[in-house]
Amino acid sequence: MTDLTSFNLMEQGTLECPFPAYRALREQAPVYRIPQTGFFIVTRYDLVMEAVRNTEVFSSQINQAASGGGPGAYPEVVELYRKEGLLFASTLISADPPLHTRYRNLVNRAFTAGRVRGMQGYIQQIVDELIDDFIGKGEVEFVAEFAIKLPIYIIADQLGVPRSDMQKFKDWSDASVPIGLNIGLEAELARARLVIEFQRYFLERMEERRADPKDDILSDLVNARLEEDGNPEGRPLNGAELLSIIQQLLVAGNETTTNAFAAGMVLLLENPDQLALLKGGDDKLMRTFCEEVLRLESPVAGLFRVTTRDTVLGGHEIPAGSLVNLRWAAANRDDKVFAEPDALDVCRRNAGAQIAFGVGVHFCVGAMLAREEMFLGFRTLLRRLANIRLADGHEKLEYHPNFILRGLKQLRLTFDRAEVSQAAE
């Protein structure tokens, strides 16, 4: 039996490869209070599903300071937010029904199935343009030159802001996600300044859209009306609500997809037999591969809930007011649900049962768009690149020190131009 105290889930070494810890927790303590932090982590698939569906007890309305998502323990950070007038509202990820449902209905209109299907040609064009930029070099730093650019270009276009501000969007997106480690005062202050910068930028863009609406999501949100009891016409969203929704779209629209692309490429390099199957060009297998990437590497490793009353989950008592991390990444490797859970299998029949996008009312609003980006991106990469491999001297993979998101810092690859690509070009 593994000594659970030997794992520190907040330590960089464990964050680099958390899967042995997840396995031990699932088997010995699927509801576990982490000694270093005091919050609970839920690692078994059935228990994660039970908790996420019980929004009355496992609430998303978490005090942002408690989870690291807003003004934190440092008084200097709190004072900076206060001085600069940080605007905060609970909308999507941090709200419960029925309020969450009202916000969700507004955002759903921007991500309909028809709209995403209509974006396929546009996504394909961006994919090809990005590959065109590096295919002649025979090498690429895949994270920076493809995995980051594809989703952030798309979300920037959808928000109606210029791609030239891409680095700003990336910095703001990174700053918007709590790291979950004690990174120190100066780093927290730097993160806070970026969040404030993000808010100022988009407050200006909102005013521009009010004066001159465009055909983009930002204009749709600025001119949307939120349903309210006793007010059939609804009301416009205020600045704090708009910023909250835009911030979540920014993170969901690029961080998770970026990390999925990098993780998926590593899985292909580690599993040449599965890569060979995908090279056959079967789109069904490619879509299953995308689900397997999400299952095995869950770009959002888990999200927090807070208990509204004393409760019991899986026979374990959880007091009222407890922070509970529902660990998608651990549940997605549960051998009670997925046979040979640590193996990549592009023929897996139940790959779609993965819960990397969440479950229930908080299921990721951009899941359909992310899946389409992954499908078109990987399909095109494998058609146009051959003999993909890690660049010499860059075999060691390093992950960002983040408890919430799992993502590679960089992935340097070398490759040959595929013959089919040469013929097509």
Domain ranges (residues) in the chain: 4-424
Residue 180 pLDDT level (bands cut at 50, 70, 90): low
Which of the pair, 49 or 84, is modelled with greater confidence? Answer: 49
User: Measured between alpha carbons, how far is residue 66 from residues 73, 121, 222 in Å?
Assistant: 9, 43, 30
Q: What is the pLDDT of residue 64?
A: 47
Residue 217 pLDDT level (bands cut at 50, 70, 90): confident
Give me the mean pLDDT over the 366-371 stretch.
91
Alpha helices by DSSP H, listed for 180-226, are 185-211, 217-222
Which has the closest alpha carbon to 393: 139, 16, 15?
139
Q: What is the pLDDT of residue 422?
A: 41
How many percent of the chain have pLDDT more than 70? 94
Give me the mean pLDDT over the 88-93 stretch.
84
- The mean pLDDT value of the chain amounts to 89
Task: Determine whether 184 is exposed, middle or buried from the number of CB atoms within 10 Å of its CB (0-12, 13-18, 19+).
Answer: exposed
On whether the 4-424 domain is CATH 1.10.630.10, my answer is yes
Q: What is the pLDDT of residue 400?
A: 87
In contact, 210 and 202? CB cutoff 8 Å: no
- Over the stretch 407-416, which tens digit does the pLDDT of each residue have? 999 999 999 9
Q: What is the pLDDT of residue 161?
A: 83
67 pLDDT more than 60? no
Alpha carbon distance 49, 46 (integer Å)? 5
Alpha carbon distance 391, 410 (integer Å)? 11
For residue 311, give the amino acid letter: T
Residue 166 pLDDT level (bands cut at 50, 70, 90): confident
Alpha carbon distance 174, 161 (integer Å)? 18
Q: What is the pLDDT of residue 66?
A: 38
Alpha carbon distance 300, 405 (integer Å)? 5
207 pLDDT more than 80? yes
Instruction: Enter the tokens of residue 331.
Output: 């549940």
Q: Which of 6-20, 67-81, 170-184, 263-277 has the highest mean pLDDT?
A: 263-277
Residue 420 pLDDT level (bands cut at 50, 70, 90): low
Q: What is the pLDDT of residue 178?
A: 62
Any residues with CB less than 8 A from the CB of 356 and at least 6 apart, and which? 294, 295, 298, 299, 300, 328, 329, 332
- Over the stretch 9-64, which tens digit does the pLDDT of each residue have? 888 888 889 999 999 999 999 999 998 888 999 999 999 999 999 999 999 987 54
Give me the mean pLDDT over the 239-249 stretch.
90
| Angle (CA) 124 126 129, round 5° | 110
Q: Residue 408 forms beta bridges with which residues?
A: 399
Alpha carbon distance 250, 241 (integer Å)? 14
In contact, 278 and 286? CB cutoff 8 Å: yes
